[in-house]
């Protein structure tokens, strides 16, 4: 069978890598892919948002299954368009993608179905928003409603900072229409964890847990990024917590998906804060995470294509997923300047010197004339499986410095608890 993966990051490389181990697959295309995906797939130079072009490609090439990585094409309705033409595609439809593309929509969904989350207010008028700041203690959290490439969430320690943030989003419109409406939210304290679920006709089948590192600098300092390190499983996920998440969160989400006609076949990524008062939902994404996918795919023992086929047919069950009990850790190296403006086009060296047990998933690389160059803010996810998190960490950090490119940076504390 022929599979098309849409996207160009480490997530898509990890998906292509896992799909390439699937017995029934004869050909993998990745649109547009990167310097790493081309080791296991054929890169197709197409924009993930060019839905007409991708649809034509899938029809012309008789693609049997399409898997969508990034949120933008999902929010633009790529799944609806493919399904209209009778094509098999794995991802949230346009209606369901609102769970990610509108934070207000997601919060109202959580409120309606009594899914534990931070207390909040929603505002479309700056004077009202400033007036209501008094309902919250500091620090408080201000979130732009729409998609802002991960930059739309600001934790405010003081009233001055909150007023500045509201002005920037609502008056100066630094995020355009995405910041016209905003949320003010109670700050939650605790450990964060990512729980990705396969969605099979609206039923949730949880994957293993993961812990993402969002800030660029060690000790969780500095601005937020897309994620610069990750490991699985999270040490907090014992049987008691899993049962609590099932009973208090997953079952309510399933009920909501059904009642709101949001049922789909794809992935629901639940961002959790594990607070003293129990797990609470920070956000939803309707896609695989990056770098979460880079630590989940190596731990998944079952065939990913088989899982996705079953999910689309509505037959996927928890018994259909087998995971290794080993730990997986990834450390992402980044280009100088990231998460701000960053450099590109630096030659990457040293990959052939890495130990056998290291898997390199490429986030932003490009091959030109047989050489490998940086082509993104996040460059590569250096990954390994080991018997413990400590072992995985030791083994990765021994090899991290063998890789080099001009301006390379990575955190030295990924996997240290």
Q: Which stretch binds ligand AMP (CB under 6 A): 69-77, 187-195, 355-363, 396-404?
A: 187-195
Under a CB-based contact definition with an 8 Å cutoff, are residues 65 and 250 in contact? no
Q: Which stretch binds ligand AMP (CB under 6 A): 180-188, 293-301, 308-316, 394-402?
A: 180-188
Q: Starting at the edge strand that comes first in sequence, how are the strands of the sheet with 2-7 ordered?
A: 42-43, 27-32, 2-7, 65-68, 89-90
Nearer to ligand GLY, 354 or 414 (CB): 414
Q: Is 7 in the site for ligand GLY (CB under 6 A)?
A: no
Structure tokens at 143: 């979130």
Of residues 232, 358, 352, the one with CA closest to residue 299: 232
Structure tokens at 243: 């049962």
In angstroms, the CA 231 to CA 330 distance is 6
Q: Select the residue interacting with ligand AMP from 57, 105, 113, 187 (CB under 6 A).
A: 187
Binding residues for ligand AMP restricted to 245-304, rule: CB under 6 A? 271, 282-283
User: If binding means CB under 6 A, how many residues of this protein chain bind ligand AMP?
Assistant: 12
Burial class (CB in 10 A: 0-12, 13-18, 19+), 247: exposed
- Partner from ligand GLY, ligand AMP, none contacting 397, C-beta within 5 to 8 A by type: none
- Tally Cβ neighbours within 10 Å of residue 151: 15
The contact pattern for ligand GLY, residues 125-164, with x = CB under 6 A and - = no contact, is ----------------------------------------
- Tally Cβ neighbours within 10 Å of residue 365: 24
- Partner from ligand GLY, ligand AMP, none contacting 130, C-beta within 5 to 8 A by type: none
Q: Select the residue interacting with ligand AMP from 54, 75, 141, 359 (CB under 6 A).
A: 141
- Partner from ligand AMP, ligand GLY, none contacting 187, C-beta within 5 to 8 A by type: ligand AMP
Q: Is 12 in the site for ligand GLY (CB under 6 A)?
A: no
Q: Is 188 in the site for ligand AMP (CB under 6 A)?
A: yes
- Biggest CA–CA distance in the chain, Å, is 60
Q: Is 212 in the site for ligand GLY (CB under 6 A)?
A: yes
Q: What share of the chain is helix, strand, coil (3-state, %, to 5)?
A: 30, 30, 40
Q: Is 227 in the site for ligand GLY (CB under 6 A)?
A: yes
Under a CB-based contact definition with an 8 Å cutoff, are residues 318 and 363 in contact? no
- Partner from ligand AMP, ligand GLY, none contacting 71, C-beta within 5 to 8 A by type: none
Binding residues for ligand AMP restricted to 103-122, rule: CB under 6 A? 118
- Partner from ligand GLY, ligand AMP, none contacting 153, C-beta within 5 to 8 A by type: ligand AMP
In angstroms, the CA 266 to CA 302 distance is 17
Question: Which residues 6+ apart lie within 8 Å of 231 measured at CB?
Answer: 210, 211, 295, 327, 328, 329, 330, 389, 392, 414, 415
CA distances from 238 to 140, 233, 235, 244 (A): 30, 10, 8, 10
Pairing between strand 378-386 and 358-362? Answer: antiparallel
Closest distance to ligand GLY from the beta carbon of 212 (Å): 5
The contact pattern for ligand GLY, residues 274-293, with x = CB under 6 A and - = no contact, is -----------x---xx-x-
The contact pattern for ligand GLY, residues 290-309, with x = CB under 6 A and - = no contact, is x-x-----------------
SS (H, E, C) 341-356: CCCCCCECECHHHCCC
Q: Is 47 in the site for ligand AMP (CB under 6 A)?
A: no
Q: Which stretch binds ligand AMP (CB under 6 A): 15-23, 181-189, 199-207, 325-333?
A: 181-189
In angstroms, the CA 346 to CA 264 distance is 41
Q: Select the residue interacting with ligand AMP from 71, 72, 185, 292 (CB under 6 A).
A: 185
In angstroms, the CA 85 to CA 200 distance is 20
Residues that bind ligand AMP (CB under 6 A): 118, 141, 143, 153, 185, 187-188, 192, 214, 271, 282-283
Residues that bind ligand GLY (CB under 6 A): 212, 226-227, 285, 289-290, 292
């Amino acid at each position: 069978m022929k599979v098309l993966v849409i996207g160009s990051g480490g997530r898509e490389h990890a998906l292509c890598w896992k799909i390439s181990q699937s017995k029934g697959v004869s050909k993998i295309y990745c649109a547009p892919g990167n310097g790493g995906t081309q080791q296991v797939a054929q890169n197709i130079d197409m924009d993930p948002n060019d839905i007409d072009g991708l649809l034509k490609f899938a029809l012309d090439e008789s693609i049997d299954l399409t898997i969508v990585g990034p949120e933008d094409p999902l929010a633009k309705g790529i799944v609806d368009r493919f399904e209209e033409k009778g094509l098999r595609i794995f991802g949230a439809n346009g209606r369901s993608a609102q769970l990610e593309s509108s934070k207000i929509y997601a919060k109202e969904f959580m409120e309606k179905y009594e899914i534990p989350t931070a207390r909040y207010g929603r505002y479309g008028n700056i004077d009202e928003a400033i007036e209501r700041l008094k309902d919250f203690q500091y620090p408080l959290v201000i979130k732009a409603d729409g998609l802002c490439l991960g930059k739309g969430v600001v934790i405010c320690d003081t009233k001055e900072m909150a007023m500045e943030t509201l002005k920037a989003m609502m008056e100066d419109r630094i995020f355009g229409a995405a910041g016209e409406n905003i949320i003010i939210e109670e700050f939650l304290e605790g450990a964060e964890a990512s729980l990705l679920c396969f969605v099979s006709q609206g039923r949730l089948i949880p994957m293993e847990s993961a812990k993402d590192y969002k800030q660029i600098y060690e000790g969780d300092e500095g601005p937020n990024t897309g994620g610069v390190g990750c490991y699985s499983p999270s040490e907090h996920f014992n049987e008691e917590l899993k049962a609590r998440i099932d009973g208090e969160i997953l079952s309510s989400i399933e009920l909501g998906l059904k009642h709101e006609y949001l049922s789909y076949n794809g992935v629901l990524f639940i961002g959790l804060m594990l607070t003293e008062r129990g797990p609470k939902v920070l956000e939803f994404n309707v896609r695989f995470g990056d770098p979460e996918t880079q630590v989940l795919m190596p731990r998944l023992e079952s065939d990913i294509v088989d899982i996705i086929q079953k999910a689309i047919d509505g037959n996927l069950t928890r018994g259909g997923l087998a995971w290794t009990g080993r730990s997986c850790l990834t450390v992402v190296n980044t280009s100088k300047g990231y998460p701000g403006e960053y450099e590109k086009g630096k030659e990457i060296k040293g990959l052939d010197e890495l130990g056998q047990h290291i898997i390199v998933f490429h986030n932003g690389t490009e091959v030109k004339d047989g050489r490998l160059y940086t082509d993104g803010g996040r460059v590569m996810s250096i990954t390994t499986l080991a018997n413990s998190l400590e072992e995985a960490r030791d083994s990765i950090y021994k090899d991290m410095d063998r890789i080099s490119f001009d301006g390379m940076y990575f955190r030295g504390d990924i996997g240290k608890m």
